[in-house]
Every structure is written in C-alpha cells, then in structure tokens.
Structure 1
Amino acid sequence: MSDPLVRLYPAAYRAAYGQEIVDVHREMTADLPRTARLRADADLVAHALRVRLGLDSASPAGRFFALAAPFALAADAVVSGLHLTRWYAELVVSPAPVRVQLSTMEGPWALSLLFSLLVCLGAVIALTGRWVPGVGVAVCGLLGRAVLWTVAVPVPGEGAFAPVAAALLTTAVVPACPADRRGDRGLSAAAGVMAGVAWFPLVVVHTGAFGVTTDYGAWPMLVLAFTGAAVALRSRSSGLREFGAMAAASPPLVAYAYTKVWADPLPTLGVLLLLPVTAVGTAACQAVRRRRRLGV
C-alpha cells in the first residue's frame, strides 16, 4: 500500500529516501487496525504533498509558514475578540433587558458571534499546546465567517470583501505550518502575548474610561509590527523573514482597520506602512549592533 503513496514524493526525494520511507511505514503500520492504518497513510500523503510543494520543515517556505502560522492565528483571534467584546459592551449598556436583546438578535449577527467565538477558542487551544484540534476549531470559525459574510453582511455598512479575504488568507497560512514545527512554545507564547496586548487596551478604551474614541485600527497592527521587531532582534537576524511572516499574518488586522475607517483607503494605507517602517528601523538597529560588536 505504501509503494504507490511514496510515488507522490518528488523523484529526487524518492530516490534518496524512498526505500527508507517504505520500510518505516510498513513497520509502523504492520499491526495497526484498518482505521489507524488509513490515518498513517493519510499522514504519509500529507507529508509527500508538503515536500512536493516545498512546505516541509527543511524548506525555506516551511520555516516561513512555521513562523507566520501562530501570529496569523493570534491576529484573527484579536479581531474576533474585539467583535465579541464590542457586542458584549453594547449588550450591557443598552437599556433593554438582556433577555429581550438575545431573543430579538438577528440570525446573521448571532452566527457571526458564534464563528468569532470559535476562532477565539481555537486560537487559545492551539497556542496553549493542542495545535491540531485548536486549528481545526479556528478554521471552522474562519470558514463559517467567510461563508456568512459572502451570503449576508452581519454588520450593516461594512463591506464583505475585506473580512472574507482576510479569513481565507488566514485559512491558507495556518494549515501550511509543517507538522513537526506546530505548536512551538516560544512562538506560541509570543503570539499569545501579542494578541493580549493588541486586544486588551482597545477593550478598555471601548468602555469609555478614556477620551479616545478610535485608533483607526492602527493599534493591533502596531503591536504586530513591534512583535516582529522583537522576534527579529532576539534571533539577531536581518528581520526579512520575521517581517514577511508578520505581513502574512496581518490580513485580519488590515481588514479590521479598513472597516474601522468605513472603507477609506488613506488611513488604511497608513496602517499598512507600519510594518515596512518598523522593518527598516529594526534593520538599522541590527546594523548598529553588528558595528558595535565588530568594534567599528
């Protein structure tokens, strides 16, 4: 059974490792029941396709998506969390009884809240150590949101294209993470901190405790940009891969900013410039650090 599956690998990879893969796969599946054997075959097919597409952990693309995936998940959790907390704040301040508000809630709005809750729960589960089930829950929420916003816009006045595109891009980035690089503790912790810092101050602002009424969607993107700088400085790299990963993770935050300014492109362009400006600043810091280390 495994010989035809091994043919899914590229010819060069198959010539170098094909026989070893066949032997290991046969040994692992020899005494397994049919269901477990099918699961092992599916894992082998998935790995073969990753190698063919250049998304295995040894490839540059695989390492890139391993870095981008937790931050993409965290970015969508930020947007979903803001959606939920905004609804909760409106629920609390409204003079109507909570029971009445819940009973009169429109279907698309209720589904939008449900899908946002799934994204948040999935992100928490994935970033706290159970990557596969967490990503499964989050992807269900993302795909549900994309379908919902395609059929009906839950929030009047907000366009559907930006949220749908952001959800689909995140759905493409997160599963592309190689299997043996999922749930990296350091990256998951950094992504979790980024999500908390991006979400909590806006919740405080929305309570009316401060005079600020809007940040034009810039604060979450600013937090993501500084997170990319911190990761790059910690790894002592040029920052190119780190900021590329942050750019891949940013579509939910860009869509959030775009809807916050009522589809006005100019403030959104300013938000988009935060990543490259921070990347240039990080590269300059790295250059100064290298010069000092060399004693120039």
Structure 2
Amino acid sequence: MSEFLVRLYPAAYRAAHGQEIFDVHREMTADLPRPARLRADADLAAHALRVRLGLDSASPAGRLFALAAPFALAAGAVDSGLHLTRWYTKLVLSPAPVWVQVSTMDGAGALHLLLSLLVCVGAVIALTGRWGLGVGVAVAGLLGTAAQWAFDAQVSDGGAIVPAAALLTVGVVLACPPDRRGDRRLSAAAGAVAAAGWFPVVVINAGTYTGAFAVTTDYGAWPMLVLAFAGAALALRARSSGLREMGAMAMASPSLVAHSYANAWGNLWPVLGTLLLLSAVAALTASLQAVRRHRH
C-alpha cells in the first residue's frame, strides 16, 4: 500500500524523497491498528495530491491559500452574520408578536437561517483556536447553502452567485495546507476584519429600520473595503509589494461579492465597483511600498 501511495507524488519529488517517505510511513504505521493505519494512508495520499497540485506549504500557491483561508472564513461570517442580524432586527421591530413571526416562518427560510448560523459559529470556532472543528461546521453551512439553492433558487436574493460564492469559499478554506492552518496572528487579523466589516453595517441597518438614519446605499461596499485595507495592512507590515496579500484578499472575497450583489438587487455595476476597491487599494499599497524603498 505504501509503495502505491508514494507513486502518487510527482516523479521528480518521488525521485528525491520517495524512499525516505516510504521508510518513514512504513515505520510509523507498522504497529498501528487498521483504522489508524487507514487514516495515516489517507493523510499521505492527501499530501501527495497537494504536492502534485502545488498546494503544499512549501509552494507559493500553498502559502497564498494559507493566507487567504482565515479571511475567507471571516468574509463568510460577515455575509451570514448580516443575514442573521437583518432577520433579527426585523423580528424585533415588527409589531407582530415574536412567537407569531417565528411560528409562521416557512421551512426554506428557517433552514437558510440555520445554515447561516452554522457558518458564523464555525468561523468563530476556527478563528479562536479550534480550526478543524470550526472549519467543519462552517463548511457544512456553506455546502448546505449551495445545496439549498439548487433545490430552491428563490431562497436568496443573490441568485446563482450565492452557491458559487459558497463553493469557492469552501475551496479556499480546504486548500489551506494542514501545517499552516490556525495561524494565530492571521486568525486574529481575520477576526478583526469580520468584526469591523459586520458591526457598522448592523448599526446602520438598525438605524435605517427605526428611521434614525436615511436608507443606506453602500451596496455592500463597506465589508469589501475593510477586507481590502486588511490586505494593505498585511503588505505594509511585511514590506512586500502587496500583490500576494491583495491576491489572497481577492480569493477570500466571494462571500462579500455575493453580499454586494444581493444588496444591489442584482445590479452588476455596484458589484464591479466593490471589486475595483481591491485593485485601487492594491495600487495604493504598491505605490506606498515603492516610495518607502526609494527613501531607504
């Protein structure tokens, strides 16, 4: 079995490390019970696949996904959290009794809320230290969202972009190399992005419903702006050109693009505007870094 698994690695990698991988794997699994041995075989096969696809922690793509993954979770949490708080605000402000509103909810709407809650809870768990458990919960919510849309396309205002964004987010999160998951610094930064992207919008939305503020016309731009400036901050701290960091933020943004599309009632122009924010901030970051290098 080990010989077959080693053959899953690319030829060049296998020639350089194949015998070592085979010997270590055979020694580690020699005395393991069958279930544990199967898990070790699955881990080896997954690592071989990552190396073949260029997604291991030593590759540029693997490092890019490692940077994007926590922010993809944060973006998913912002989108789902805004959906939940929007529903809750309407629930509280409605003149009808809460129990009447809850009891008359349709099943599709209730399921959509539950899936949004899973994404939020999973993101919080993952970003606060229990990456594996949190990602499992969040991915279940995202996959459930995509599956629900396939059966009921009217469940969300975002149209087909909603399941596409959910599946892209799942892909980014799961592509993160195992030994790069749960980075505390990146998780803390992603958590701050989620809070900064979610809370002001909740306040504005609540004020809009109560009449304290005029109707907001940001079309979901604020969370994307927070994500873009987070990428710029990471680039400035690392003294890099910003291309890698802004590329990671672009990979993390599908949930926020879907949120913007839903807020714009299917109008693509505001969505394109929010995407241009990433390009504009990337250009500004690169300019600042060029000026900094010129001064030094």
TM range (shorter): over 0.9
Q: Which residue of 2 aligns with 1:145?
A: 145
Q: Which residue of 2 aligns with 1:267?
A: 270
Aligned alpha-carbon RMSD (Å): 1.2
> 5+ unaligned residues in a row in structure 1: which ranges?
none
List 4+ stretches of structure 1 deviating above 4 A: none
CA distance in 1, matches of 2:131, 2:41: 21
Letter in 1 for 2:233: A
The answer to whether the aligner puts 1:231 opposite 2:237 as a matched pair is no
Q: CA deviation at 1:212?
A: 4.2
Cα deviation, 1:107-143, whole Å, max 9, x if unaligned, reads: 1100100100110111111111111121111111001
Q: Which residue of 2 aligns with 1:200?
A: 199
What is the count of residue pairs matched by the alignment?
292
CA contact (8 A) 2:158 2:258 kept: no
CA distance in 2, matches of 1:206, 1:48: 48
> 5+ unaligned residues in a row in structure 2: which ranges?
none
CA distance in 1, matches of 2:161, 2:39: 36
The answer to whether the aligner puts 1:243 opposite 2:246 as a matched pair is yes
CA distance in 1, matches of 2:158, 2:192: 30
Letter in 1 for 2:95: P
TM-score of the superposition, structure 1-length normalised? 0.96
The answer to whether the aligner puts 1:35 opposite 2:38 as a matched pair is no
Identity of aligned residues (%): 72
**Corresponding residue SS for 1:207:** helix
Q: CA deviation at 1:61?
A: 0.7
Which runs of structure 2 are paired with 1:183-198 in the superposition (5 Å)?
183-198=182-197
Q: CA deviation at 1:155?
A: 4.5
CA distance in 2, matches of 1:69, 1:256: 18
The answer to whether the aligner puts 1:104 opposite 2:104 as a matched pair is yes
**Corresponding residue SS for 1:177:** coil
Distance 1:212 1:228, change over 3 A: farther
Q: Which residue of 2 aligns with 1:66?
A: 66
Q: Which residue of 1 aligns with 2:83?
A: 83
Letter in 2 for 1:91: L
CA distance in 1, matches of 2:158, 2:198: 22
CA contact (8 A) 1:68 1:248 kept: yes
The answer to whether the aligner puts 1:285 opposite 2:288 as a matched pair is yes
TM-score of the superposition, structure 2-length normalised? 0.96
Which runs of structure 2 are paired with 1:152-167 in the superposition (5 Å)?
152-153=152-153, 155=155, 158-167=157-166
**Corresponding residue SS for 1:273:** helix
Q: Which residue of 1 aligns with 2:132?
A: 132
CA distance in 1, matches of 2:279, 2:109: 35
Q: CA deviation at 1:160?
A: 2.0
CA distance in 1, matches of 2:247, 2:161: 20
Letter in 2 for 1:135: V
Most deviating of 25-34 and 38-47? 25-34
CA distance in 2, matches of 1:121, 1:33: 34
CA contact (8 A) 1:108 1:153 kept: no
CA contact (8 A) 2:153 2:160 kept: no
CA contact (8 A) 2:128 2:187 kept: yes
Match 1:211 to one of 210, 213, 216: 213
Cα deviation, 1:78-117, whole Å, max 9, x if unaligned, reads: 0000011111111111112111111111011001001001
**Corresponding residue SS for 2:240:** coil
